Amino acid sequence: MKYRLGALIVAVVLLLSLAAPVWAQADPAGDLDGVWRSVGYGYVIEVQGDLLTIYGETAVSCQEWMQLTAAELGLTLTLDGDRLLATDEIGTYITAERLPALPELCTDGGTPVTDDPETNFEVFWHTFNEHYAFFELREVDWQAQYERYRPQVTADTTPDELFDVLAEMITPLEDGHVTLVSETDLFSPGLMPAWGAAEADLREVVLHEFDLLVHEYLHEDDAFLNEHFIVTDAGITVKSPVIYGELADEVGYINLISMVPPGEDLASAGEAIDEALAALAGKEALVIDVRFNSGGLDAVALIFASRFADAGRLAYSKHARVGDGFTLLRE
């Protein structure tokens, strides 16, 4: 497959959060106006009343990513001592330190967007080098990747060639949360699960698995399939993250297809799992199937797990990379 690269590549998902953070209304009681640099994540945030300008920063670049009003966004900004604290209901927790002014690279609109392949390579490599948290886990020497692939990029490198170089460079990460996006195509180095790795057509794999779920497990017909799934030539869209039925008279079955709420708020995820549990309340046993789960929000996973917890338990802990270390661990 060939790819076409448009201007500077910025759509790279490489932070610890599963959901990319957005920025929202500031605490009116706090003096939040000014410039802030996030601890980890690589953000510079300029707050001017309700207007927030968000930059993505590396040692060689600072690009303006968005400029939005507080009313358009979903986070709450507050002061925590002398730090800015950004939180939301899906688990985002980011702190930022005040700066006296915008960093020089961020001034006058930030680093210009360019088609220059060497500049784009440098920004791409530095973005990972400064903010990606899993090099050790993935056993990837990122400096060695630079030394191998940097000579392949010159002023004459075409957009297609650059995309191919960058895609090859990140392939050893084997990380499905990393995505390289051009104007027309995308590439992710994520590995296919074992049940689909041998198949050439992922859509056919997914169709087979959902056919198995509906017809073999739940013994339902195509009307049930059409009620819960939208099947097109492009793939399958699930109408609810919770599919349920019975495997036998005394055995209920719940398939958690994703961790994405079916409605506009988190409450809809709770409603979906509660509907399933109410329908299966008389069963002696439940089978909870997450084999085909496509991921989503931590908050939705917590909602589902809470229905099966008899006491408070640690669900997960999280910290963000900062230089050669990490922020304090949050549980």
Q: If you write DSSP's letter for every residue of 301-314 in order, what string do you get? A: HHHHHHTT-SS---
Q: What is the pLDDT of residues 110-144, one digit of tens each?
A: 998 899 999 999 999 999 999 999 999 999 999 99
Cβ atoms 304, 256 nearer than 8 A: yes
Percent of the chain predicted with pLDDT > 90: 49
Split at pLDDT 50, 70, 90, the class of 70 is low
How would you label 116-144 residue by residue, b for 16+ Cβ within 10 Å and e otherwise? bbebbbbbbbbbbbbbbbbbeeeebebee
Across the chain, what does the average pLDDT equal? Answer: 84
Q: How confident is the model at residue 83 (pLDDT cuts 50, 70, 90)?
A: very high
φ, ψ for residue 320, nearest 5 deg: -110, 150
How far is the C-alpha of 255 from the C-alpha of 247, rounded, in Å? 12
- The gap from C-alpha 38 to its chain's centroid, in whole angstroms, comes to 18
The whole-number average pLDDT for the span 261-273 is: 91
- Mind listing the pLDDT tens digit for each residue in 273-293? 999 999 999 999 999 999 888
Q: What is the pLDDT of residue 170?
A: 97
Q: Report the predicted TM-score, pTM, of the whole model to 2 decimal places.
A: 0.79
Return the amino acid letter for 303. Answer: I
Q: At what angle do helices 117-131 and 142-149 cross, to 10 degrees?
A: 170
- How many residues are listed for the chain in this entry? 331
- Measured CA to CA, the distance from residue 209 to residue 218 in angstroms comes to 13
How far CA 216 is from CA of 15, 104, 112, 208, 274, in Å, comes to: 39, 62, 56, 11, 24
| pLDDT beyond 60 at 12 | no
Mean pLDDT of 98-103: 95
